[in-house]
Structure 1
């Protein structure tokens, strides 16, 4: 999941049964230099139906870019990439390929980036920013009246987004994206594809493997989404992940002399700040209030890099009353903003919250699993974003990953967004067709962190060498304090 994101089994059979045949050769991409004139890249678009059940109906333009293999004589094919979200731009991610991937990957593959439908260059979902911010401010209701208000805001936001975006808003599930991926594969003239997906991009990969497993050469799912979780399991596992990241940050403060909180009782300081925020008494230098939701948000975001140093400076400033920059700030109100999360997420997950009493029970379960941080704001925002949505068209189910070659799962042991337990569950459900590599360190995305994670992935992608057993890559202490 990009920082902004994770009837259970029957649906997989339905989706497998209605997989749409490829249409290789029937659609073409006209390649041209990219607008930013980035060396080594070509850009294009592919016209695809908004509703795959109505191939003659309205279409949208799928934005695509390509970085050709630098060693054409030894080219292995195409490597599709996606950074997750939902809402991350695959075109932007592919544009970072020379800095992200090892030279051997760039030599052997055409790197193919695509913006999933509803994202960036592919008919983006747009919503009124005033409603987006109202929704974000209301996701932790304290009373039945506030819960009812949140549902009202969610309904208003959904209607606003659909009106601004058009019919594609109702066709943004991971199954839709998987079908688009296969159409793109066909348009490129490739019999098979390789894939590297991060976070929510792993769900796109899973749906592709379910529907088009015979067209997968290799697939890497880095920071894996578990699509089999119900609402309670999703919320509590997300809460545990952020609590774990908090405890790792506390340990870092204890062993790092350069930290603004080194030598202090960090847990006591944090608990005191959290209690003040929940009473409405926590302020920054200058007098502005810091709500508890801000602490929820920033402690979860801190674990991504991880960004321990800047987070410690901010917490130290709140504790002492001295001014310290907050890790992030909300944008100004007014203009339409890209906001594809709910349209995608609520098409793939039925997050059922029956009423305020049920919401209270779920919140209590979050707190039980995260006594210091209370909640994963990412997980909480994901579930409440779907309060006004219809039932998911691609609801939770145990994935059936069937590919000729094993799928490689990567995950950090201390990931605040897609916890290791999710990857372990996917591996356990698909032992014959997956292999798991665990990075014993911190952060979201495991591939870039160490030689071990990179080499095991690179060797798999290039030579289809699957790591023996469940490989564990040792943690590497971040240089300085912030990384990622």
Structure 2
């Protein structure tokens, strides 16, 4: 649930004004209209609604809506096609991504593409789902399965059962049909509705896996594919591996924060070198395990060791977040006043939790052995103390009431050589080691640009000029680098 690490940045998705009425077997947008106003919505962005099958195996059955947006190129004579932005998560909205990215994308890219966004099925304005979870179950230290302070998982087992039962009871029929395969099919309906023979897209985080699945299911319908901050596509594990990779990614990335804090030892007092900062963090987390501090307004209303660990994970997504973590640590160490908690909106939490859980559980089966998970947690806490066993702990998928309707997709090298992977070497969420598995799966279809940087998100985010230029060149010319490249 990588999106849950960034829920504080998720606002309400923009409403869609134009609705297209079509037959269940089609997804042709008949009209576009102005998007509902909201903070940051570009006046050029227009919206429509597509209707697609809830169950692609039931021709003529119930349909659901997909909210789609676009900002057209200002230079139609140079137009290459559309560039669809596939959001991460799973569970992140994407309807207003065109308004965000037109402020950042190079003009050469904007001249050649209509920039297209969408809310995935079940998210935001696209027939949203909710499991109607209790407030206590929306804590980020529950939505990521942190074990108890002593390493036990009894509470996780109870929570996992409670979440699975709530989703079965409250999720409605759609929750059974949220999967990466169906997101890929939805993307192809968007392509059809836009009147494009082929589609280019930029997938980030979970969007890399969705993009890889699309490129595998519909290889001849892809034009230029950019996959940014890549998931391990192991078809036997899928999201189980993504969660496990947090342990690796955080260990890869934490030294960047430790070096930053050590350089500011006079301000924060965590230690004059990276090793000392690491000891300070681990000691503080252990102390907060034993004696949590009151933190009114947070969920839970205390700063405990797991809340500190989750705050740390969030902070590692971008160097810009380092001061936030350091300020919280300093306050806890000095008995100072804790900063105001940044609590995501409940509605967004409910929607994201339901969609994220459904995607992860419907893509692949998960083991339900409590003893297996306890052994995994015990080993992982020793090997990767920064994440304290969370990445391999038990979650709702162990008790999910539905079996996957289809096998997970095995990404292969069959198809055109039109896939560019871009990857930070020190990504806390989708580590480089997992991205190499994606590179291996695509074979000669792909090239990888590895960027010597930290954080989650590369192109126009935590990357560098070399990496950004490589992506821009591919989008504007269609030519992959001759070889994998280091920046």
TM-score (norm 1): 0.84
Q: Kindly tell me: are residues 334 and 305 of structure 1, through their superposed partners in 2, closer, same or farther at Cα, counting changes over 3 Å? A: closer
Q: Deviations over 1:2-32 (max 9, x none)?
A: 4318xxxxxxxxxxxxxxxxx9987233111
Q: Give the corresponding residue for 2:179.
A: 173
> 1:267 Cα shift?
2.2
Q: Provide Cα deviations, 1:353-373, integer angstroms capped at 9, x if missing partner.
A: 412x11111112322331334
Residue 276 of structure 1 pairs with residue 276 of structure 2: no
Quick check: 1:309 aligned with 2:323?
yes
Q: Secondary structure of the residue that 1:328 maps to in structure 2?
A: coil
> How far is 1:118 from its partner?
0.4
1:406 paired residue among 394, 418, 432: 418
Distance 1:41 1:123 in 2: 21
> 1:355-401: CA deviations, max 9, x gaps?
2x1111111232233133424x5x457x6131221333455554114
**Cα separation, 1, equivalents of 2:85 and 2:349:** 30
Partner of 2:4: 4
User: Could you tell me which of 425, 429, 444 is aligned with 2:441?
Assistant: 429
Residues 185 and 192 of structure 1 are in contact (CA less than 8 Å); yes or no, is this contact kept in structure 2? yes
Specify the SS of the correspondent of 1:3: helix
1:160-191 deviations in whole A, cap 9, x for unaligned? 441xxx32211111110111111111111111
* Larger deviation, residues 301-310 vs 359-368: 359-368
Is residue 456 from structure 1 mapped to residue 440 from structure 2 by the alignment?
A: no
Task: Pick from 205, 219, 233 the counterpart of residue 225 of structure 2.
Answer: 219
CA-to-partner distance for each residue in 1:313-351, whole Å, 9 max, x for gaps?
Answer: 111111111123166336569996553110112122333
Does the 8 Å CA contact 1:298/1:327 hold for their aligned counterparts? no
2:162 counterpart (153, 159, 172): 153
CA contact (8 A) 1:174 1:394 kept: no
Cα distance in 1 for partners of 2:74, 2:356 equals 35
1:343/1:106 CA distance change after superposition, 3 Å: same
SS at match of 2:46: strand
Structure 1 equivalent of residue 33 of structure 2 = 32
Deviations 1:402-423 (A, max 9, x none): 3323311111111111111111
Deviation at 1:80, TM superposition (A): 0.8
Name which of 358, 361, 370 aligns with 1:343. Answer: 358
State whether residues 117 and 172 of structure 1, in contact with CA within 8 Å, keep that contact through their aligned partners in structure 2.
Answer: yes
- The number of residues matched between the two structures is 448
Alignment RMSD (CA, Å): 2.9
Answer yes or no: is the 8 Å Cα contact 2:45–2:70 preserved in 1.
yes
- Distance of aligned partners of 1:190 and 1:374 in 2 relative to their CA distance in 1, 3 Å threshold: same
Partner of 2:15: none
Gaps of 5+ in 2: 6-23
Where 1:432 maps in the other structure, the secondary structure is helix
Equivalent residue number for residue 486 of structure 2:
472
Q: Are the equivalent residues in 2 in contact too, given 1:227–1:396 (CA < 8 A)?
A: no
Aligned equivalents of 2:352 and 2:437: distance in 1? 32
Q: What aligned pairs does 1:71-470 form with structure 2 within 5 A after superposition?
A: 71-130=75-134, 133=137, 139=145, 140=147, 143=152, 145-162=154-171, 166-228=172-234, 230=237, 233-256=241-264, 260-261=268-269, 263-264=271-272, 265-279=276-290, 281-283=291-293, 289-306=302-319, 307-325=321-339, 328-329=342-343, 337-339=351-353, 340-355=355-370, 357-375=371-389, 377=390, 379=391, 384-389=395-400, 390-396=402-408, 398-448=410-460, 449-470=463-484
